[in-house]
Structure formats: C-alpha cells, structure tokens
C-alpha cells in the first residue's frame, strides 16, 4: 500500500495511486508512506526520489554503521518500533528516507501512531511545511509511546515488589517472571538508545535544516530520551534487587527445610542406636523380662526429649 501526502495550496491532500507522481511536483510532496509495498509501488517511489530504497534485510541490520547513512543527498535511517505482546516485546523495523524535504517511510505492519499522524497532517497542514517536521512528529510520538511502555515496566516492578513483601507465590516461576521483565527492560533500553543515536546523527548531518524548529524539537526529544534511559536503568536495577531478594528467600526456605530434616535425623539418631543395640541376636541386659521393651522405649523417649530441650535452649531450632 502507498500513501502520498502532497500540498495543494494551503491544504495537504492524500492519494494512494503511484501514477499521481507524474502530475505532482517534488516540491509539493510532503510524505510517502509505504506499508508492505508491492514491487511496482517501490520502483515508482525510487524513480520519483531518484534513489534506491533499502531492502527489509538492510532495514533490520543491527550494526550502528548501517542504522544511519547519507547517500546522493538523501538521509537513510532505520529503527525499530516496540509493541508489547503477551509477556514479550515485538520489534517492528521502520525505515526513513529524507531527501530534499520529502519523507519516505517503509514498514511492514500497520502502526496506529502513523494513522493518527496522517489525520493530523490533513487537519493542520500549516504545522508540517516539510518532511522533516513529519519525521520529528513521528519520533516525538514514538518516544511518548516508549515512555508509556517504560511506565508499564515500572508498574510491573511495583507489583512484583508488593508480592515479595507479602510473600505471595515466591517460587521458581516467579523468578522466571522477573527474568522476563528484565529481558523486556533491556530490549526497551536498547531500542531507546538506538533512537538516541539516530537523532544525534541526524543533528550532525549537513542535510538537516540549520534553522527553524526542527533542530530545537530534535534536541528536546534527545533530552526526553535521556530521561527515559535513566528511568529504564532504575527499573532494571530494581529488578536486579528483586531478583536477588527472591533468590535469597528461596534459599532461606530450602535451608529451613534442610534444617528441619537434619534436626529430625539428629533427634532419632540416639534412639536408633538403642533400637539397633537391642536388635542384635545376642543375650542383652533386661532381655529376659517380658515388659523390657517398655523401659527401652522410655529410654528412647527420654533421649529424644533431652535433645529437644538442648536444641531449644541453644536456639538451634
């Protein structure tokens, strides 16, 4: 699917036909949005821009040198948009091309933030004189959504902390839940740092407007990203603390169980020795009396009681 936003007078119009490139001047095009495009749509955009659009493999390239580049007077930028899915984070790659004030975006799945922005562009066209302003708006909304995700992580951390304080279901499964939340926090942090690097490179670029609100807005977004990174780091540190606490509680429970078993073994050991002694097939003291077993049982109970009192006095149990 292709959507072309172009200026006509003071309005921004939308067309979804690639054949309109023949009648629309480059100076009037504001934004070309490609959603899982067909081959002919992609080639039409390449011919219109006079540059090659990166493939999906290039868009998913994780090396920093490939996340931002400049070629033939065009800026190529790639980043991932996160979306929560069950207990994990999905990463959807989005590619940006900025050339002569025209923004081109390439994505594989629908994004609600793009739909909202497209409606806003048509409702308030004066706020978007070029594709750079559209790019700034996309990044600003994306950082806001990332902030919401970080807030969700922080809420989950608080819930886990309360469960630990109340000692509810503190087990191995709970420890795995914390580990999954740690993985999500790391993914979010990596994604936010990726956007920080992208915007920093854009500000350094000679193709970025030197004057106007674009640079100021990008600088503000960088400050927001820096605060998000600090918030994410704090959430990750809390998760590490919770993980250590859960491990400690599980170890204490296991030690308590082992202590109980050890105590029972020590209590029964002297009695077992007496029973083993009288179990020998030889003539033993008091064996000739019919009720000798009662006395032997009494001796065993006395030994067990004595050991119990001794352990209690020394606070070993």
Three-state secondary structure of 172-205: HHHHHHHHHHHHHHHHHHHHHHHHHHHHHHHHHC
Strand 29-35's sheet: what is its strand order?
A: 11-15, 2-8, 29-35, 102-107, 88-99, 74-85, 68-71
Q: How many domains does the structure of the chain reveal?
A: 1
- Under a CB-based contact definition with an 8 Å cutoff, are residues 38 and 32 in contact? no
Residue % of the chain over a pLDDT of 90: 2
The answer to whether position 224 is within a domain reads: yes
pLDDT digits (tens, 9 = 90+) for 36-94: 888 888 888 888 888 877 766 665 554 555 678 888 788 888 888 887 777 777 788 88
Does the pTM surpass 0.95? The reply is no
The answer to whether position 236 is within a domain reads: yes
| pLDDT number for residue 258 | 83
What are the phi and psi torsion angles at 7 (to 5°)?
A: -90, 140
Looking up residue 140, the CATH number of its domain turns out to be 3.30.460.20
The answer to whether position 102 is within a domain reads: yes
What are the phi and psi torsion angles at 10 (to 5°)?
A: -95, 5
The answer to whether position 274 is within a domain reads: no
Helix axes 112-123, 131-165, angle to 10 degrees: 140
d(CA 3, CA 17): 8
What are the phi and psi torsion angles at 209 (to 5°)?
A: -55, 135
| pLDDT number for residue 249 | 76
- Residue 220 pLDDT grade (very low, low, confident, very high; cuts 50, 70, 90): very high
Higher-pLDDT residue of 278 and 170 is: 170
How many other CB atoms sit within 10 Å of the CB of residue 106?
23
Decide: helix, strand or coil at residue 265. Answer: helix
Alpha-carbon torsion angle 14, 207, 68, 148, nearest 10: -60
- Under a CB-based contact definition with an 8 Å cutoff, are residues 203 and 217 in contact? no
Those residues whose C-beta lies under 8 Å from the C-beta of residue 170, and which sit 6 or more positions away, are 163, 164, 246, 249, 250, 253
pLDDT digits (tens, 9 = 90+) for 195-214: 898 888 888 888 888 767 88
| pLDDT number for residue 223 | 92
Range of the domain at 25: 2-251
What are the phi and psi torsion angles at 107 (to 5°)?
A: -145, 165
DSSP state of 30: E
Question: Rounded mean pLDDT of 273-294?
Answer: 66
Closest CA to 176 of 184, 167, 165: 184
Cα 68 to Cα 142, 201, 294: the distances in Å are 18, 7, 89
The answer to whether position 291 is within a domain reads: no
The answer to whether position 294 is within a domain reads: no
How many other CB atoms sit within 10 Å of the CB of residue 268?
15
pLDDT digits (tens, 9 = 90+) for 226-283: 999 998 888 888 888 888 877 777 777 778 788 777 777 777 777 777 777 666 666 6
| pLDDT number for residue 164 | 77
| pLDDT number for residue 59 | 56
The answer on pLDDT for 100 being more than 70 is: yes
The answer to whether position 96 is within a domain reads: yes
Length, in residues, of the chain:
317
pLDDT digits (tens, 9 = 90+) for 4-37: 888 888 888 888 888 877 788 778 888 888 888 8
């Amino acid at each position: 699917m292709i959507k072309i936003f172009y200026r006509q007078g003071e309005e921004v119009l939308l067309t979804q036909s690639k054949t309109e490139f023949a009648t629309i001047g480059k100076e009037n095009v504001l934004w070309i949005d490609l959603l899982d495009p067909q081959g002919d749509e992609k080639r039409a955009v390449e011919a219109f821009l006079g540059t090659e659009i990166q493939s999906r493999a290039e868009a998913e390239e994780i090396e920093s040198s490939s996340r931002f580049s400049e070629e033939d007077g065009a800026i190529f930028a790639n980043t991932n948009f996160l979306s929560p899915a069950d207990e994990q984070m999905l990463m959807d790659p989005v590619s940006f091309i900025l050339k002569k004030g025209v923004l081109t975006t390439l994505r594989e799945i629908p994004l609600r933030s793009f739909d909202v922005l497209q409606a806003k562009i048509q409702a308030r066209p004066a706020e978007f004189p070029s594709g750079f302003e559209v790019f700034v708006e996309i990044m600003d909304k994306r950082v806001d959504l990332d902030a919401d995700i970080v807030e969700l992580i922080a809420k989950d951390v608080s819930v886990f902390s309360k469960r630990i304080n109340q000692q509810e279901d503190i087990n191995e499964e709970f420890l795995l839940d914390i580990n999954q939340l740690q993985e999500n926090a790391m993914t979010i942090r990596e994604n936010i740092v990726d956007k920080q690097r992208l915007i920093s490179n854009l500000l350094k670029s000679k193709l970025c407007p030197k004057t106007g609100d674009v640079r100021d807005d990008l600088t503000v977004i960088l400050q927001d990203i820096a605060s998000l990174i600090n918030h994410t780091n704090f959430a990750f540190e809390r998760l590490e603390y919770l993980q250590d606490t859960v491990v400690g509680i599980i170890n204490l429970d296991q030690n308590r169980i082992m202590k109980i078993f050890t105590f029972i073994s020590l209590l029964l050991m002297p009695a077992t020795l007496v029973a083993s002694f009288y179990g020998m097939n030889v003539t033993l003291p008091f064996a000739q009396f019919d009720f000798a077993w009662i006395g032997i049982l009494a001796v065993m109970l006395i030994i067990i009681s004595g050991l119990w009192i001794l352990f209690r006095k020394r606070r070993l149990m």
